[in-house]
C-alpha cells in the first residue's frame, strides 16, 4: 500500500461513513474476516480461479477496513509503517510454539 492509497481510503471512509468510529470499523472488519475465512475454506475444498479472485477481494476488504480504522484513530501511514516494522522485529526475536490442532502458532516468549 502506498501513502496515497492510505490517505484516499481514510478520506473516503470519513466522507462516506460519517458516524464510523475506529471501533465500529473494526466490528465490520470482524464480519469481513469471517467472510474471508469462509472463502479460504471454500478455496481449499474447491480451488478455482474464481475462488482465488473472491479471496483476493476479501483480503482487500480487510486491509481497507483496518487501515481506515487506524486512520480514524489518528494514525498516519508512517505511524502504521513504523509500528509494523517495530512489531515485526519483536516477533522475529520471539520463540514460537508448535501449531495447535487448527494450525495456529503462538509465541511462548
Question: What is residue 31's predicted lDDT score, i.e. its pLDDT?
Answer: 97
Distance CA 43, CA 37 (A): 10
Question: What is residue 48's predicted lDDT score, i.e. its pLDDT?
Answer: 82
Distance CA 97, CA 107 (A): 6
Residues 1, 63 contacting (CB under 8 angstroms):
yes
Distance CA 31, CA 70 (A): 17
Cβ atoms < 10 Å from Cβ of 6:
22
Which tens digit of pLDDT belongs to each residue from 35-85? 999 999 988 878 788 888 899 999 999 999 999 999 999 999 999 999 999
- 3-93: CATH topology: Helix Hairpins (1.10.287)
Residues 72, 13 contacting (CB under 8 angstroms):
yes
Residues 36, 59 contacting (CB under 8 angstroms):
yes
H helix runs in the chain, sequence order? 3-16, 22-45, 49-73, 77-93
- Domain limits of the chain? 3-93
Amino acid at each position: 500500500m502506498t501513502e496515497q492509497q492510505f490517505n484516499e481510503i481514510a478520506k473516503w471512509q470519513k466522507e462516506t461513513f460519517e458516524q464510523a468510529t475506529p471501533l465500529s470499523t473494526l466490528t465490520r472488519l470482524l464480519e469481513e474476516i469471517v467472510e474471508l475465512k469462509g472463502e479460504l475454506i471454500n478455496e481449499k475444498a474447491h480451488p478455482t480461479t474464481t475462488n482465488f479472485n473472491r479471496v483476493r477481494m476479501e483480503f482487500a476488504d480487510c486491509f481497507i477496513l483496518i487501515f481506515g480504522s487506524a486512520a480514524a484513530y489518528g494514525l498516519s501511514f508512517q505511524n502504521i509503517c513504523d509500528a509494523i516494522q517495530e512489531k515485526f522485529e519483536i516477533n522475529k526475536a520471539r520463540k514460537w510454539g508448535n501449531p495447535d490442532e487448527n494450525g495456529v502458532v503462538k509465541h511462548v516468549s
